[in-house]
Amino acid sequence: MSERAGSPGETGASASAWPGADEGFGRHLGRITEWLGIFGGALMLLVMLMTTISVAGRALFGRPIVGDYEITELACGIAIFLFLPYTQFTGGNIVAEFFTARMSRRNQLRLDLIHNVVFAGFAAFLGWRIVVGGIEKYESLATSMMLRLPIWIAYLAGLAGLAGLLVVCVWIVARLLAEKGT
């Protein structure tokens, strides 16, 4: 909700929209989510650089980077998962305030609580399915077509982002319940 959110451009744990983000575990969790996001951003920057080099190589020399599509596909998928914990921690997900702006603070907190419980369930379910899929890819020795990169590694990296998202959602639920109790 907009009245909780940090001001635009804020960074770090203090930018979190949730109570307790500046103390104890919340501060550490904020730092971890920042580093996951930074790593995801670095992956995206490397993909942009590689794509630029590949396009230039194709145009100038008729030689693109072999497997550039595979690398882009895997890196972008990993980056998206790594962005999830930071976005949730900072309250950066899209909120339809048109419906909630006139709600009482108490009802907004209830909606936040429900949202985070559902999102935690989503993260747990998707994490479970990624573990199952990753094990299947590992056992079948599945690799990418051109570069023969093991696919299970991408599953493992995606799982790190989902685990972070799950921890953030559970932490937010605990913080909201603690705030509700006070």
Give the per-residue pLDDT at 52.
Answer: 97
Alpha-carbon span 7 to 15, nearest angstrom = 7
- pLDDT above 80: residue 116: yes
DSSP state of 124: H
* pLDDT tens readout for residues 38-79: 999 999 999 999 999 999 999 999 999 999 999 999 999 999
Report the alpha-carbon distance of residue 86 to residue 98 in Å, rounded: 24
> Concatenated DSSP letters for 15-82?
G-SSTTTTSHHHHHHHHHHHHHHHHHHHHHHHHHHHHHHHHHHHHHHS-PPTTHHHHHHHHHHHHHHH
What is the pTM for the complete model shown?
A: 0.84
Instruction: Please state, rounded to an integer, the average pLDDT across all residues of the chain.
Output: 88
Cα 176 from Cα 170, distance rounded (Å):
10
Q: Quick one: average pLDDT of 83-97?
A: 88
**128-137: average pLDDT:** 97
Looking at residue 181, its pLDDT comes to: 64
Q: What is the structure's pLDDT at 14?
A: 45
Indicate whether 4 pLDDT > 50. no
Classify the phi-psi angles of 12: left when phi > 0, otherwise alpha if psi is within -120 to 50, otherwise beta.
left
Strand, coil or helix: 150 = strand
pLDDT band per the 50, 70, 90 thresholds, residue 126: very high
Q: CA 18: distance to chain centroid?
A: 17
What residues contact residue 130 under an 8 Å CB cut-off, 6+ apart?
A: 155, 158, 159, 162
Structural Rg of the chain based on CA atoms? 20
> Rounded distance, CA 43 to CA 157, Å?
12
Asked if the model's pLDDT at residue 7 lies above 60, the reply is: no
> What confidence category does residue 105 fall into, taking pLDDT thresholds of 50, 70 and 90?
confident
